[in-house]
Amino acid sequence: MALRNIVTVGDSVLTKVCRPVVNFDRRLHILLDDMAQTLEAANGVGLAAPQVGILRRAVLVDTGDHGVLELINPEIIEQSGEQTGLEGCLSVPGQYGIVTRPNVVKVRAQDRFGQWFEAEGEGLTARCMCHELAHLDGQLYTEVADRMLTQEELDELMDEDEDE
Ligand code: NI
């Protein structure tokens, strides 16, 4: 496994629509393993393939409960409720925004071997699924945020982090 570089905002790769994964081969598995290592090293909760420069429809969600969830060619098939809360992105370092998302989402996706399955996420997991899937269509949360945090709010947030 190897760490991959995380692309940051301003790079056009983040604005492109990704193509479906068609080969569930060793190359895909290496990509997913590298993404998992990169996500862990960055202390994130989700990562999409375009964030490491690969324009394919593959994302990872790791919100703590069940280890790393791999979603290949994912689609949201159901969503309900609403939540409004803090959101950040490894590709938009040092910033946070307030984003409204569904509270529960059901996703249909393939696993790394091409097998279709469904996964349901609630709260943070639902938020993360929506955020990561949007990356596959070239959309960043900053485009859908209710608002971004001000520098003063960011400073307060960093102070809170230090206190923990
Ligand atoms: Ni992101």
Indicate the domain borders of the chain.
12-163
* Separation between Cα atoms, residue 47 and residue 105, nearest integer Å: 18
Residue range 12-163 forms a domain whose CATH class is alpha beta
Residues serving a catalytic function are 132
Q: Which of 6, 88, 12 is nearest to 49 (CA)?
A: 6
In tens digits, the chain (164 residues) has pLDDT values of 799 999 999 999 999 999 999 999 999 999 999 999 999 999 999 999 999 999 999 999 999 867 899 999 999 999 999 999 999 999 999 999 999 999 999 999 999 999 999 999 999 999 999 999 999 999 999 999 999 999 999 999 888 877 65
Task: Show the tokens assigned to 18.
Answer: 């990704």
What are the beta bridge partners of residue 139? none
Q: Could you give the C-alpha distances from 36 to 28, 42, 69, 70, 83, in angstroms and in order?
A: 12, 10, 10, 9, 27
Q: How many whole angstroms from 89 Cα to the centroid of ligand 1? A: 4
pLDDT given for residue 81 in this prediction: 98
Q: How many whole angstroms from 65 Cα to the centroid of ligand 1? A: 19
Q: How many whole angstroms from 46 Cα to the centroid of ligand 1? A: 7
Q: How many whole angstroms from 76 Cα to the centroid of ligand 1? A: 17
* Separation between Cα atoms, residue 164 and residue 148, nearest integer Å: 23
Which pTM value belongs to this model? 0.95
